[in-house]
C-alpha cells in the first residue's frame, strides 16, 4: 500500500474545510505530498461546481446547514473560552472579522516593497501595534495594506509564491497565545477555504489563490512563530 492510501478517505473532508474529521497525520501528509494536495484541490473544485449547479431548494438547505454550523462554532468558541482550552482563538468571535479579512485581502497593497523588514515597519506605523516578522519559506513579499473593518484594524501582508500565486496573511491582532500555544482552524468563506491561525504573533487569516497545500505550509510557519517580535512605531 502506498503512503497516500491511508490518507485518501479524508481528502474530501479536508477540501471542505472539515478538518475536525481529518487526522493530524493526514494534515501533515498533505502539506508535504504534491499528489494528495492536487487531489484536495480537485475535490474543492468539484464541490464548488456542484454548489453552483444546485437548485434553489438545495442551496437553501446548504445555507441552513452552514448557518447551523456557524452557530455551533460560536457556541464551541464560548465553551473553549470558559474552559481556557485553545485560548489562542479568544481574539475573534464568530465569522465577522474573519470574513472582513477575506474581503479586503485581495485589494491592492497601500505600500509595496520586496523587503520584509520595510513592510513590517510600515505595518507597525499603520496599525500602531507590534508585528512579528515571520520567515515564510518559498514566499516573497509584495506589499501590505491596513483596513478598519468589523471594528478591527486588519493588517494584510501579501506574498507571492515561486509559481506566481498570491497568499494573503491578514493579521487581526497582536495578542500572543499563552505559553506559546498555537492552533490552526480551517473555514470556508464564500466557498473559499481559508485558515485562521492563533500564533505567538497574534491571530491571522490566510487566504489567496495559491493551492490549499501552500496555505497550510504558510500556516505552519506562522504557527511555529519563527521570527522576532518588533516594537511598535508610534
The reply to whether 119 and 201 lie within a common domain is yes
Examine residue 36 and state whether it is found in any structural domain, yes or no.
yes
Reported as a single tens digit per residue, the pLDDT across 51-83 is: 555 555 555 555 545 544 444 444 444 433 434
For residues 181 and 198, give the distance between their C-alpha atoms in angstroms, rounded to a whole number: 8
The reply to whether 17 and 96 lie within a common domain is no
pLDDT at residue number 133:
72
How high does pLDDT run on average in the chain?
74
Query: Considering the entire predicted model, what is its pTM?
Result: 0.58
Residue 219 pLDDT greater than 60, yes or no: yes
The reply to whether 23 and 125 lie within a common domain is no
Give me the domain span that covers residue 106: 87-229
Reported as a single tens digit per residue, the pLDDT across 137-157 is: 788 999 999 998 888 889 999
The reply to whether 48 and 101 lie within a common domain is no
The reply to whether 186 and 131 lie within a common domain is yes
The reply to whether 103 and 148 lie within a common domain is yes
Residue 213 pLDDT greater than 80, yes or no: yes
The reply to whether 198 and 106 lie within a common domain is yes
Residue 166 pLDDT greater than 90, yes or no: yes
Reported as a single tens digit per residue, the pLDDT across 107-130 is: 999 999 988 888 888 988 888 888
Residue with the bigger pLDDT between 148 and 90: it is 148
The number of distinct structural domains making up the chain is 2
Amino acid at each position: 500500500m502506498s503512503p497516500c492510501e491511508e490518507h485518501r478517505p479524508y481528502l474530501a473532508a479536508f477540501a471542505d474545510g472539515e478538518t475536525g474529521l481529518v487526522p493530524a497525520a493526514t494534515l501533515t501528509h498533505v502539506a508535504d505530498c504534491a499528489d494528495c494536495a492536487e487531489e484536495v484541490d480537485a475535490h474543492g473544485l468539484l464541490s464548488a461546481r456542484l454548489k453552483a449547479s444546485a437548485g434553489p431548494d438545495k442551496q437553501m438547505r446548504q445555507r441552513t446547514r452552514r448557518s447551523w454550523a456557524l452557530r455551533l462554532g460560536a457556541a464551541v468558541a464560548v465553551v473553549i473560552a470558559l474552559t481556557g482550552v485553545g485560548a489562542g482563538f479568544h481574539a475573534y468571535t464568530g465569522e465577522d472579522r474573519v470574513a472582513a479579512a477575506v474581503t479586503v485581502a485581495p485589494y491592492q497593497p497601500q505600500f509595496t516593497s520586496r523587503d520584509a523588514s520595510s513592510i513590517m515597519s510600515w505595518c507597525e506605523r499603520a496599525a500602531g501595534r507590534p508585528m512579528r516578522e515571520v520567515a515564510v519559506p518559498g514566499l516573497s513579499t509584495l506589499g501590505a495594506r491596513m483596513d478598519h473593518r468589523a471594528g478591527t484594524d486588519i493588517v494584510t501582508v501579501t506574498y507571492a509564491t515561486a509559481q506566481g500565486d498570491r497568499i494573503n496573511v491578514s493579521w487581526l491582532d497582536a495578542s500572543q497565545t499563552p505559553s506559546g500555544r498555537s492552533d490552526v482552524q480551517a473555514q470556508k468563506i464564500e466557498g473559499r477555504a481559508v485558515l485562521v491561525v492563533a500564533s505567538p504573533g497574534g491571530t491571522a487569516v490566510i487566504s489567496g489563490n495559491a493551492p490549499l497545500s501552500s496555505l497550510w505550509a504558510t500556516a505552519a510557519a506562522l504557527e511555529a512563530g519563527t521570527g522576532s517580535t518588533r516594537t511598535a512605531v508610534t
